[in-house]
Structure 1
Amino acid sequence: MNIGIIGLGLIGGSLGLDLRACGYKVLGVSRREQVCQKATSRGAVDLASMDLATLADAEVIFVCTPIAAILPTVQQLIPHIDPATVLTDVGSVKAPVVDEVAPLWANFVGGHPMAGTADSGIEAAQTELFVSKPYVLTPVENTPSAATAKVEEIVKSIQANIYYCSPQDHDRAVSLISHLPVMVSGTLINTCHSDKQEVVKLAQQLASSGFRDTSRVGGGNPELGMMMARYNRQELLRSLQSYRQNLDTVINLIEQEDWDSLEQQLQSNHIARKQFVRE
């Protein structure tokens, strides 16, 4: 099977590495010739080009661009591909993407691999990035079952764990466990950076694994954070408001020196975390 990838960054490049290892022929497209050359030299693609016509023979195409570029990319791609071609994306927000693309292309299956690193670009691409990681597919009522099955077959080949849900449920869930943490973590960094200069310098010298872990997502790709806020605005606001209420509760407990209630909350947090994170 020929598989196309548009956007050869961390996700697109990592997909290419694993798909080629599975025996698929991978055709890549990037806006920059330098990226095409790097993707080829790294073995992420069999052939790379800046021309979307390169993907004319692809049976399935993964659109791995930033969210804002998905719709215009599909619009530019349509004249070059057969109506039977299956399109899917890897965007971290699904409802706006599916609402825009599905009416243009019947064989479109929304997708979101829940994998990544703090780094970006083809240089950051790595093998087995998706192994045992969640990979969400969001087909809607009119999505052909054959198109969904084809994407599922490919996702299973890279050993990701497939989950199905509606685009709306996806966006609400990821606002809690992905988009909210980015904003909270970013606010943490800003708070630490805004104290007195001598205190900031001392904090920088003392920062260790705890700060590294809690600040990682907030210090990641700014473009990705902007796309989360812009395209999942309502669900992110809902999550931020809920977080603010919980933060106010903790502030109140400390102000009132209600140590018993605070301990109960911390104990509850300790138990609840295990239901989200498997270590």
Structure 2
Amino acid sequence: MTVFKHIAIIGLGLIGSSAARATKAYCPDVTVSLYDKSEFVRDRARALNLGDNVTDDIQDAVREADLVLLCVPVRAMGIVAAAMAPALKKDVIICDTGSVKVSVIKTLQDNLPNHIIVPSHPLAGTENNGPDAGFAELFQDHPVILTPDAHTPAQAIAYIADYWEEIGGRINLMSAEHHDHVLALTSHLPHVIAYQLIGMVSGYEKKSRTPIMRYSAGSFRDATRVAASEPRLWQDIMLENAPALLPVLDHFIADLKKLRTAIASQDGDYLLEHFKESQKARLALKTDHDIHP
């Protein structure tokens, strides 16, 4: 059972609204205070009864909290941290859910130097967003990565781990640097590819003035699903994780060039070997739990 009695959730998109629902479902004795900068989102959160208190003031939301869960875009972390700082209790624990860790940790530490920060990243999601998109089961059996540093109190790490496990997550620990490299490969690059692929095909369609995407089958839809995700959110993620993403993107481009050369030179042996290795890796992935963005 979580030790937290009052949790403030800041940002009520998919992750924040799901955390609110999950906390109410699996930790019913916890008081949940909610804030989002959007008046429309706050009104929806009230209508959906997502928390015990939906406030128009971020400081009111965090004032009594012993855990503040930051579910805002990575480039909004500093603004949010500065805005709530004067109202935070001394012993409150701050936990972000951002998809980038190195830059976010620095931002939070700069803005909240006297508070305990336990960075986290739940590897769960869909391409949908907003308070209506969330659901209590989102985190069930999905990894939640914690990236504390050497100065993070062990007790605080344990408290955050217990909370995420209480609402369904599976805890993994790693360094912030390793997290950003791993997510550049498994999440950020796939989003780059999806946005680019559907953008390219859409461009062909507009230029040729003939229907193309109406003939897309499952493979195209599967490959571009995450391109329906919120563009500003992913703009922030790409730019914040550029140090880890750019080398990965360069590697991917180099591999594409090898494939192009093989196709142009009719090198069927190279293609077959490459496709076999890729198929083997994908089939192995099916034996694990599929996770979304």
TM-score normalised to structure 1 length: 0.95
Aligned to 1:118: 127
Residue type matched to 1:106 in 2?
A: H
1:205 to 214, 218, 227: 214
Identity over the aligned pairs, expressed in percent?
Answer: 28
How far residue 27 of structure 1 moved from its aligned partner, in angstroms, is: 0.6
Residue type matched to 1:7 in 2?
A: G
Residues 1-32 of structure 1: per-residue CA shift (max 9 Å, x gap): 11110111111001000001121221101113
Residue type matched to 2:43 in 1?
A: Q
Alpha-carbon distance in 1 for matches of 2:61, 2:249: 43
| Paired residues, number | 279
Aligned to 1:187: 196
How far residue 208 of structure 1 moved from its aligned partner, in angstroms, is: 2.2
1:86 to 84, 89, 93: 93
Over the residues paired in the alignment, what is the CA RMSD in angstroms? 1.6
Residue type matched to 1:203 in 2?
A: I
1:274 to 268, 280, 283: 283
Alpha-carbon distance in 2 for matches of 1:184, 1:105: 40
How far residue 90 of structure 1 moved from its aligned partner, in angstroms, is: 0.7
Is contact 1:92–1:112 with CA below 8 Å preserved after alignment?
yes
Aligned to 1:58: 65
Residues 99-142 of structure 1: per-residue CA shift (max 9 Å, x gap): 22135243101111111111111121112011111111110011
- Matched ranges for 1:240-279 at <5 A: 240-277=249-286, 278=288
Considering Cα pairs closer than 8 Å and 6+ residues apart, tell me whether 1 or 2 has the greater RCO: 2
Residue type matched to 2:45 in 1?
A: A
Aligned to 2:24: 20
Aligned to 1:34: 40
Structure 1 spans left out of the alignment, 5+ residues: none
Tell me, yes or no, if structure 1 residue 228 matches structure 2 residue 228: no
- Matched ranges for 1:120-199 at <5 A: 120-195=129-204, 197=206
Tell me, yes or no, if structure 1 residue 69 matches structure 2 residue 76: yes
Q: SS at the partner of 1:8?
A: coil
Alpha-carbon distance in 1 for matches of 2:251, 2:149: 29
Q: SS at the partner of 1:117?
A: coil
Residue type matched to 1:33 in 2?
A: E
Alpha-carbon distance in 2 for matches of 1:196, 1:155: 45
Alpha-carbon distance in 1 for matches of 2:212, 2:175: 43
Residues 6-63 of structure 1: per-residue CA shift (max 9 Å, x gap): 1111110010000011212211011133322321321321111021223211110101
Alpha-carbon distance in 2 for matches of 1:36, 1:197: 38
Structure 2 spans left out of the alignment, 5+ residues: none
Alpha-carbon distance in 2 for matches of 1:232, 1:198: 33
1:10 to 7, 14, 18: 14
Residue type matched to 2:266 in 1?
A: E
Q: SS at the partner of 1:184?
A: helix
TM-score normalised to structure 2 length: 0.90
Which of 197-206 and 27-36 deviates more?
Answer: 197-206
